[in-house]
Each structure stands twice: as C-alpha cells, then as structure tokens.
Amino acid sequence: MRVTMIGPPGSGKSTQAEALAAALGVPHIVTSDLLHEAAEADARGDELQAMAGGNLVDDDEVIQVVTARLARADTRGGFVLDGFPRTAAQEDALDEWLAGSGRQLDAAILLDVPRAILLERIARREDVDARDDDGPRTRRHRLDVYEHELGPLIDHYARAGKLRRVDGDGTVDPVHARVMTALAASSRQR
C-alpha cells in the first residue's frame, strides 16, 4: 500500500506514519530526514540544512530527494510518506513520478485535530523537547501556513477519492486504530 500521511503540525502525523508503516511492513519515508541526509552529503549542505531547519525548502529540492528515495527497491511493495507532498507542485510531481513507474497513491490520510488541541500539543512539545521553533506566535503561524498551503492538496485528494479523514484527537493507539479502519475502507473501495 502506498500512503501519504498529512496533517497540521501537532497532529501526530509522524507518530501515526511510523505506526502505519510498521503495521504494513513498508518503509516510513520522512521528508525532513531525507533533507538532513541530503544536506550532509551535499556541498551546499549549510544551505539545505538551514532550509530543512524551519525555512521553506524549494519544491524542486524536496521532489528530488523524495523521488530518489522512492526509486529504491524497498518501496516496490509500498511506503508511507511523512511530510510529502506539502504543495500542489509536489503532489503533481508525486503523481507523475508514480504514474511513470506504473504505480499510484492508494490513500492520503488526513489527521483532523481541532486547532486549540494542536496549539496545546505543540506547546507541550516545546516544553518536552526544548524546541526553539515553537513559540506562541510561531505555533499560530505554522498552523496558518498549513491551512493555506495544504488546502488545495486536501481538495485534490478528496476529488480523486483518495482522501481519508481520520479523527486525530486522542492517544496513539485509538488514533492508529482509526487510521487502520480508514485504510481498510479504502482497500474495499478499489
């Protein structure tokens, strides 16, 4: 199964993507990890590292590292994308790349979590992880950017019949069960 996990900051998408990949026995492909690896291997590492550290990364750079990862043999049986696509250009590139390799995305799992809960989760993460990128103004801004940029992507997947909305409010196990139920429904629809 080929799935992308989408959701706002604080929705638990990385946690759920990791759990889903383990349940499916497929690679969990984390865009930020790929960007950090590319930064370490690239002569322009400082530039890529700065972008990966919180600034926007050019779509072409992101597409290049993700499609290179998708080209590896371990993704033939499926994958769970975490943090990709985030823009319409990335989504178009993913669809094109998959079509060129004779594959398609099976589902886009959207973790729905109320904004107030997202802000609380991000604040807790700041306290636990001592992250300096999650101040109150930054938290609100990141959610605003998410809502603006991912709106067209969510609409695209909904029109394509691939969007699966999952209530992401709750602890890991109940949310994971809802993700698995959504995927089972997705499999029955094909």
Q: Is residue 45 part of a domain?
A: no
Element (H, E) at 3: strand 2-6
Number of domains composing the chain:
1
CATH number, domain at 101? 3.40.50.300
Summarised one tens digit per residue, pLDDT across range 22-54 is 999 999 999 888 887 877 776 555 555 555 445
Q: Is residue 112 part of a domain?
A: yes
Secondary structure (H, E, C), 60-127: HHHHHHHHHHHCCHHHCCCEEEECCCCCHHHHHHHHHHHHHCCCCCCEEEEEECCHHHHHHHHHHHHH
Q: Is residue 115 part of a domain?
A: yes
Among residues 169, 165, 172, the alpha carbon closest in space to that of 16 is found at 172
Domain that residue 81 falls in: 2-29+77-189
Q: Is residue 47 part of a domain?
A: no
Length of the chain measured in residues: 190
Q: Is residue 43 part of a domain?
A: no
Q: Is residue 62 part of a domain?
A: no
> Is pLDDT of 148 > 80?
no
- Annotated active-site positions, please? 13, 86, 125, 131, 142
Burial class (CB in 10 A: 0-12, 13-18, 19+), 41: exposed
Summarised one tens digit per residue, pLDDT across range 59-101 is 888 899 999 999 999 999 999 999 899 888 999 999 999 999 9
Q: Is residue 152 part of a domain?
A: yes
Q: Is residue 70 part of a domain?
A: no
Q: What is the pTM of this model?
A: 0.83
